[in-house]
A = this chain, B = another copy of it.
Amino acid sequence: MRDVAIIGVGHTKFGVLKEKNILDLACESSLQAIENSGCSNKKFDAVYVGNMCAESLNHFTGLASALVDRINLIPAAADQIKNGPASGGSAIKAGFQAIKAGTCDLVLVTGVEKMTHVKERGRVTSTVATITHHAGERLHGVSLPAMAGMLTRYYLHEYNATMKYLDDIAIKNHRNGVHNPNAHFQREISEFMKRAEQKGKGSWSDEYEFLHDDKVNPIIADPLRLFHVCPVSDGAASVILCEGALAKKMTDKPIYIRGVGQATDTHLVTERKTLRELEAVRWACNQAYKMAGKSSKDIDVGELHDAFEILEIMQSEAAGFFPLGEGGKAAEAGKTTIDGEIPINPSGGLKARGHPLGATGVAQVVELYWQLREEAGKRQVSNPKVGITVNFGGFGNNIVSIIVERGF
């Protein structure tokens, strides 16, 4: 079977990007990736665009066709892949399969979302909530933050855990994000605290006290507060995928996609066999491990989907890094920091890098590409050879996991 390599990446700034529309963002990261790969003069066989909400938020139904036209890749095939907030991961999977199938040799995958221009209060949250079960969840007004709140309560109860674990992850991810020039927030939580103090909003003994102050960190969905959830962001990220022989010609430092897993669970959260763990995450990761011929012990760095900080904890367990109920304690003990046992989200994660839905799954792989090539600057993990992503579509019911490995 042919190998599939990543030979170039692109990544816009994530954040509130007022001057750019969704197609501008997709073009920016795509062109960066093409230039980065050295393939500007090569024929691309296909373009896959990961995007969740362009149809309702941007009035765009032909995003992939528009992108291929705008960046002059005609007559490349172009499709949009939609899997909620895991659309980016699914788009990479589509590109991976196209190359494995032998029908494509050179593929561009771009994830993109443009959300912050939407001014109507609650419209973004209610649009994202269309991914939930219509009759059993959405009609009852349960948004994704609400589900994450309930899941957090359950976890705290089941495992005798505390909210400090979530605080620790938020603090860690903001600390990592400081060194990610593309992050939505390049600011530690202590820096937010200092600024609030300077503005006379209060005074706190440390970050934890700050994080439990209703005025500066209000409850969003009990027990989750503002700093326990990711922001709404604009942004795009891209990877260039190619088959192994071409990769060797194009770069001395190829990164290979070794495993791809994807698994679904029941649409209704209440129908899941258990909520003590995120089973579909385990299934997706296990598929990826099996395809890659690896186990969780081989992983040097992980990019997990911390749209809500409880998810980083539970994914770190389902991915096999820690036993059930131990993910929070591990984070508290510093095991997941950049210089910890198993660094998680050196990019800053969704919490600090931001979460332009369809872009996230691609951005995760871009971060691992930089990490494995040791190009991650001040957030560089020490000598990582294998990395894994978890990209979370729906509320735990459609998960994509990708394993990448250094090829040099």
Contact = CB atoms under 8 A, between A and B. Distances in A.
Contacts of A27: none
Given A65-B84, A394-B65, A263 B90 contact: no
Contact of A81 (B63, B80, B283): B80
B101 A97 contact: yes
A62 interface: yes
Nearest to A280: B75
Contact of A98 (B63, B73, B97): B97
Interface residues of A, number: 63
Contact of A97 (B61, B103, B260, B267): B103
A242 B165 CA distance: 46
A234 B394 CA distance: 26
A68 interface: yes
Interface string A68-91: 111001111111111110000010
B101 A62 contact: no
Contact of A62 (B78, B93, B130, B280): B130
Interface string A253-285: 000000010111111100000000000100100
Contact of A77 (B46, B80, B264): B264
A260 B96 CA distance: 17
A82 B79 contact: yes
B131 A61 contact: yes
A403 interface: no
Interface in A278-294: 280, 283, 291
Contacts of A46: 262
A222 to B, nearest CB: 25
Contacts of A233: none
A64 B267 CA distance: 10
Contact of A65 (B76, B93, B128, B264): B264
A98 to B, nearest CB: 5
Task: Report the copy number of this chain in the oligomer.
Answer: 2
B74 A62 contact: no
A213 interface: no
Contact of A1 (B90, B97, B102): B102
A103 B46 CA distance: 19
Contacts of A127: 61
Given A80-B81, A82-B80, A62 B394 contact: yes
Interface stretch (A52-60, A171-179, A334-342): A52-60
Contacts of A394: 62, 65
A172 to B, nearest CB: 30
A399 to B, nearest CB: 9
Nearest to A94: B94
Contacts of A59: 130, 134
Nearest first, the 6 A-B pairs at minimum CB distance are A100-B101, A77-B262, A69-B267, A80-B82, A55-B55, A62-B131
25 contacts: A46-B262, A61-B127, A62-B83, A62-B84, A62-B130, A62-B398, A64-B398, A65-B83, A65-B264, A65-B393, A69-B397, A74-B265, A75-B263, A75-B265, A75-B283, A76-B264, A77-B93, A78-B83, A79-B94, A80-B83, A94-B97, A100-B100, A100-B102, A101-B101, A103-B291
Given A70-B267, A78-B83, 17 more contacts: A61-B82, A61-B130, A65-B264, A65-B393, A69-B268, A69-B397, A74-B264, A75-B265, A76-B264, A79-B82, A80-B81, A94-B97, A97-B97, A99-B101, A100-B100, A100-B101, A100-B103
